[in-house]
Structure 1
Amino acid sequence: MMRRSLLASPAAFAIAGGASAQTAAPALVIHTAGQGSPFVTYGEAIAALLGRHGITATVAASTGSLQNLTAVEDNANALGTAFLGSAWDAVQGTPAAGGRRHTRVRALWPMYETSFQVAALTASGLTRFAQLDGKRVGAGPARGPAETFLQAAAEAAGIRIQIVSGSPAEMTEGLLAGRMDALWQGAIVPIPSILAALARAPGVVFGPGAEVAARVTQRLPMLAPTTLPPGTYPGQTAPIESFAAWNFIVANRALSDATAYAITRLVLSVADPAREIGPVAATTRAANAVHNRVLPFHPGALRFYREAGVAPLAAPVD
């Protein structure tokens, strides 16, 4: 009962380090993605959970992880959904992140694993990754993680592709309308945009294959090989070999320790995250914090993990 009532009122923030019981929780903005992305579903579910416990949180649309990371870098009261591959770009200040090193972004809690697959309509005859050579492939927002990892997979496979950019919803419509030959997406599986396409036209889902996945993960250590069992998608009779990485909710290091501790504890203390937050949050559990090897944890979140007996590998940076 104490876990469930932790944030029954803004005064609960006083538990985390001497704040006045009259201190109100800050209004938070959760930056997510475009319509059709699980980031939006997840952000809305978290905002609803916080709202039920007296915490004001609104959801803001964005182009995805990289824009979210920049929003968090620049706003002490911003939260963001972020793919760890994009977080690595932001921390390193790579060209994908506009050459800007993000030094104030901190991890709070794990969301879910992002796995990458390809969908093509049955009429296209495409069933293997190598057949994408010279094809038009939708890869989500321009310069986003899906595009980055598709390019890496294409290089590992020795093929060249034509990338088409857009939101997940635009990708689905583009595939169905014939504006692209295949759709490459990364999200919680089964990927909603792929399911949306398969619900409207016969199609097939496949991955880059174990050999290509091994080459990509050797080059990009934030990724790991993954296997999707048969039945993950309608009509799928064989395993899909691909690669994946985790997504985390992130915050600015200037977010108060009390706030970071309290909201992390609230989210990770629910008994059944799939039921109490939403199906998209089924793997939002403290034990999965160990999958972050990219970002330092916020000290407030790290306090909760220590109390929960979880030892994340990424250390906080002051």
Structure 2
Amino acid sequence: MRRRTLLGLAAAGPLALALPGLAGCDGDGAEATGDLRIATGSPGAVYYRYGTAIAELCKRYLPNVHASVLTTAASQYNVQSVLDGTADVAFTQADIAAGNEQSHPKQLCALARLYDDHIHVVVAAGSRIRRLQDLTGRKVSIGAEGSGTAITAARVLEVSHVTVDAQPLGLDDSVKALQAGTIDAFFFSGGLPVAAIADLARAFPIALLPLEESVQLLREEYGDYYAERVVPASTYTGITATVAIGIANYLVVRVSMSEPLAYGVTRLLFEGRDELAKAHQAAARLNIRSAISTPPLPLHPGAIRYYRAQKA
């Protein structure tokens, strides 16, 4: 098979330099073939940008793989799409993956742990809302139905004993509603920085609510999928450094995915990492040592073969 050349990566480092030799084959020389429908999320968030970049690399380096991107409500919807066969690979939060493993055991597996999401609770700067408890009785977007944000937001509010007038809005609609004053706050789970929130902060002063008090409560109730993380002050215009809740993100597939395809996509994630990071910097956080940790999901055999070849 003729090798292709990836223009612009000559100086991008050893992982990127390996890409021209990818040629669509797995470690045993078998060809990666078939459809690869990638379930992502809102166009204003990380999943969509990351997934679109993966699809573009597939088109260039896995010529017998027909990659396409699905715009979705994100994590929960994505997992369900993989389970029912309307998607082939999906981005999802670790806590959502864990819940589906309980309800649909041994049907899903992972290719990699990618990066950590941060739970944002966004309010207007200057608002009297300074902490989570101040949301009591207020109109709050908890995320679109079928999103990981909606499930995690409901858990945060539950363990914190906060009752709100919940609005099921997606990210883009949440941004518009906060600007219009029709909601008082919105939740969103995403990798830093979330483009739609960055755009909002440049046009409309915002603040983030600190969430450190909720982290341990979530861990005690739902497991060790949650960790304390900081959103640095440099992330969004006008914010101060704020403690958020971190959740790992996985790339998941059905256990029935062919080994050559799983191997090819996993290899693409690493050998195309610098190129993927141009679409969103979250892709640069992929680390081969942490990528293999995807509890409670097992790794796909094709992914395992790639990691073993790299002595991960």
Q: Which TM bucket (shorter chain)? A: 0.7 to 0.9
Alignment match of 2:67 (pick from 50, 57, 78): 57
Return closer, same or farther for 1:290/1:201 CA change in 2, 3 Å cut-off.
Answer: same
* 2:228 equivalent to 1:213: no
Instruction: Give the TM-score, by structure 2 length.
Output: 0.85
The CA distance in 1 between the partners of 2:107 and 2:160, in whole Å, is 36
RMSD, aligned α-carbons: 2.3
Question: Paired residue for 1:3?
Answer: 18
The CA distance in 1 between the partners of 2:291 and 2:32, in whole Å, is 28
Instruction: Give the TM-score, by structure 1 length.
Output: 0.84
Alignment match of 2:33 (pick from 3, 25, 42): 25
The CA distance in 1 between the partners of 2:52 and 2:71, in whole Å, is 11
Return closer, same or farther for 1:261/1:37 CA change in 2, 3 Å cut-off.
Answer: same
Question: Unpaired runs of 5+ in structure 1?
Answer: 94-100, 311-318
The AA in structure 1 aligned to 2:39 is H
Alignment match of 2:236 (pick from 212, 219, 233): 233
The CA distance in 1 between the partners of 2:87 and 2:206, in whole Å, is 43
The CA distance in 2 between the partners of 1:77 and 1:205, in whole Å, is 34
Alignment match of 1:296 (pick from 295, 298, 301): 298
The AA in structure 1 aligned to 2:245 is F
The CA distance in 2 between the partners of 1:71 and 1:77, in whole Å, is 5
* 2:145 equivalent to 1:142: yes
Contact 1:66 1:144 in 2 (8 A): yes
Alignment match of 1:107 (pick from 107, 110, 116): 110
The CA distance in 1 between the partners of 2:273 and 2:49, in whole Å, is 20
Question: Paired residue for 1:97?
Answer: none
The AA in structure 2 aligned to 1:38 is V
Which secondary structure state, in structure 1, belongs to the residue aligned with residue 203 of structure 2? Answer: coil
Question: Paired residue for 2:90?
Answer: 80
Alignment match of 1:116 (pick from 115, 119, 122): 119
Return closer, same or farther for 1:246/1:41 CA change in 2, 3 Å cut-off.
Answer: same
* 2:274 equivalent to 1:272: yes
The AA in structure 2 aligned to 1:246 is A
Which secondary structure state, in structure 1, belongs to the residue aligned with residue 19 of structure 2? Answer: coil
The AA in structure 1 aligned to 2:254 is N
Contact 2:201 2:238 in 1 (8 A): no
Alignment match of 1:177 (pick from 176, 180, 184): 180
Q: CA deviation at 1:182?
A: 0.4
The AA in structure 1 aligned to 2:84 is D
Contact 2:273 2:283 in 1 (8 A): no
| Identity of matched residues, % | 24
Alignment match of 1:197 (pick from 197, 200, 212): 200
Return closer, same or farther for 1:161/1:304 CA change in 2, 3 Å cut-off.
Answer: same
The AA in structure 2 aligned to 1:84 is A
Contact 1:114 1:247 in 2 (8 A): yes
For these two proteins, the number of residue pairs brought into alignment is: 294
